[in-house]
Structure 1
C-alpha cells in the first residue's frame, strides 16, 4: 500500500502519456478487444471494448519503452486509477468490480498479447477509501503543478490552486496527528516539504498559507516516558558502579577529599575568628588599664 501513495505524484505524467496515444496505434488491439467480453460489463460490451483497446495499447507503449520515464508501478497504478475515476465509477461500478476488470485486462495482455507480465506484479485490490485518498493526493499534486507553472483556471488566479492545496492537506491533519494511515501521512509530509520550499520563493499569494504544518506531532506521553526511562537507567547504572565496581571507590575518596577540604576551610575560619576575638579582648583590656593609671 505504501508504494501506491508514493507513486501518485507521477500520475500527472502517466496521464499525459496515456492521452498521447495515437488512434492508429490502437487498431491492432481494437480488433482483439471486440471479441473479448467481461462478466463485469456484460450489459455494455461496446464500452468494455473501448476500455480494453485503450488499456492494452497503453500496456504496449509501456513495454516498448525500455527506459521508463515513470516507474512501471506508477504506470500500472495509474491504469487502475483511470479505470475507477474516469470510466467505471460513474457507471455505478464499485471498487471490487473495478479491480475485477483491471485484473482481466492485465492478465489478458500477459497471456494473449505479450509474454511480458508487466503489471501482474501490481495486482492489489484497493478499497474505496484508499481510492478516495489517492484522488485527493492526485488533486494535491495536480494543483501544485498548476500553481508552479501559473496554469490555474481563471485569469491571474494561480493562488486558487495554492488555496486548494492547503484545503486538501488540512483535511488530513487530524487523522495524521491521531496516527491513522502513516503511509499516507508520510506522503503528505513529503508534499509539505515541497510546498513550503516553493512558497519561500513565491510572493504572489500573500493571503495563502506560506507554511503547511507538519503531519507529525510530538507524543507528550512518550516523551515523558523516555525521560523517565533515561533517569531510571542512569540511577541504576550509577548504583551498580558504586556498589560493585572500583568506580564507587573512586567516587568516595573524591567525595571525602572534597569534604576534608571543606572541613579544613571551616576549621581555619573558626580559628581565625577565635584569634580575632582574643585580640579584640586584649586590646580592650589594655585601654582599660591605661585609663585607670591616669
Structure 2
C-alpha cells in the first residue's frame, strides 16, 4: 500500500512539466516515420490485420526514445519519460479490445526491436500501468498548467494579458477541488493546493485579470480537521484512557463523558434505593403502598370478570349486526 501511494505521488509530481514535454513531442513527431514504421511492422507482424492499430503508437514510442537518446541533457529529466508513460497509457486505453497494457506494449517493442541501437533503458523505470482515476487526475493537472502557462505567457509588459486562460484555470480548479472534501486522493489534492498558491500569487501580481470570484480556495478546515481528530482519538483510546482528552475532538469527548455519567447513575440508583429500603422509613412506606396497590388490582380483576359475564349474552345478540355494519362500511369506502 505504501509503495502504491508513493507511485501515485510520483505520477503527479511532474504533471506541471507535461505541457512543455508535449510541445517538444509534437515537434519531433511530425518528422518522417522513415525506418521506424518498417521496424514496427516487423514487431507487429499482422500489421495488415488486427495489429495495424499498434503501428502508429509503436512509431511514436520509437521516435520519442530516439529523441531522448540523442539529447543527453534530457536523460536525467524524468518528466519526459513520465509524459511518454502517460501518453502511452491513454492511447492503449482508447483501443477497443486492446491486447496490451502499456507496460507489456513497451516491453514487446523493446525486446523485438531489431534496428539501429536505441537506449530503451532511459524510460524503462517510468513505464507503468496507470489506472483510470489517476489518468484523469493527471489530465486535470495537465490542463490546469497548460492554460496557466498560456496565461503567464500573455502577461508581457506593454500588452493586455489574455484573461480567458486565467478564467479557464479557475473553472477547471473549482470543478476538480470537490474531490478534496472527502480526502479521496490526497496526493492529487496536494498538487491542486500548490497550483492554487501559484495561481493566486500570479493574478494578484499581474492584477489585470484579477476577479474576486477567481481567487482560489482550498477546503482544508472543517471536514479534514474533524476526520483527523477522530482518527487520532481512536488510536489513543486503544492505547489508554488517560490519553483521550488530549487527542480526540471536543464533540466526541463530550459525548463519551455523557455516556460515562449515565452508566454511573444507572449503577448508583439501585444501590441507593436498597439502602433506603433497609435502613430508613422509606421501606415501610413503600411496602404499605404496594399492598394497597395490590388490593386495588385484585378488586379490578373481580369487577372485570363480572362485567365480562354480563356482556357475553349481549355480544352474541349483536354479532350479526356488527358483521353487516363492517361489510357495509367497506363497500361504501370502495
TM-score under structure 2 length normalisation: 0.56
| Aligned with residue 83 of structure 1, among 63, 73, 88 | 88
Question: Which residue number corresponds to residue 35 of structure 1?
Answer: 42
* Structure 1 equivalent of residue 151 of structure 2: 147
Which structure exhibits the higher relative contact order, with contacts defined as CA atoms closer than 8 Å and separated by 6 or more residues? 1
> Which of 50, 54, 61 is matched with 1:48 structurally?
54
Cα separation, 2, equivalents of 1:209 and 1:98? 41
Taking the aligned partners of 1:183 and 1:7, their CA distance within structure 2 comes to 12
Distance 2:227 2:29 in 1: 59
Write the mapping of 1:125-204 to structure 2, written as runs, cut at 5 A: 125-150=129-154, 158-204=162-208
Paired residues, number: 224
| Equivalence for 2:127 | 123
Farther off after superposition, 15-24 or 217-226: 217-226
> In 1, distance between residues paired with 2:72 and 2:83?
19
Pair 1:12 & 2:19 matched: yes
| Cα distance in 2, alignment partners of residues 106 and 78 from structure 1 | 18
Which digits, 9 at most, give the CA deviation of each residue in 1:17-47, with x for residues without a partner? 21221766742423322212178995252x4
Taking structure 1 as reference, are residues 110 and 126 closer, same or farther at Cα in structure 2, changes over 3 Å only?
farther
Equivalent in the alignment of 2:65: 59
Cα RMSD after superposing both structures = 3.6
Which consecutive residues of structure 1, in runs of 5 or more, have no partner in the other structure? 232-294
Deviation at 1:105, TM superposition (A): 3.4
| 1:2 to 2:12 alignment | no
Tell me if structure 2 keeps the 8 A contact 1:110–1:116. Answer: no
Distance 1:119 1:170, change over 3 A: same
Alpha-carbon distance in structure 2 between the residues aligned to 1:136 and 1:94: 25
- Give the C-alpha shift of residue 90 in structure 1: 4.9
SS at match of 2:187: helix
User: Is the 1:159–1:208 contact (alpha carbons within 8 Å) kept by the matching residues of 2?
Assistant: no
Q: Which position in structure 2 is the counterpart of 1:229?
A: 246
Whole-Å separation in 2 of the counterparts to 1:140 and 1:42: 39
After superposition, give the CA deviation of every residue in 1:191-221 in whole Å (9 maximum; x if it has no partner).
1111011011122224463421125335046
Q: Structure 1, residues 241-294: CA drift from partner, whole Å, max 9, x if none?
A: xxxxxxxxxxxxxxxxxxxxxxxxxxxxxxxxxxxxxxxxxxxxxxxxxxxxxx
User: Can you list the C-alpha shifts for 1:38-90, whole angstroms capped at 9, x where unaligned?
Assistant: 78995252x43232222112112112211128722x212212332344x5555
> Unpaired runs of 5+ in structure 2?
1-7, 234-242, 249-334
Q: CA deviation at 1:163?
A: 2.2
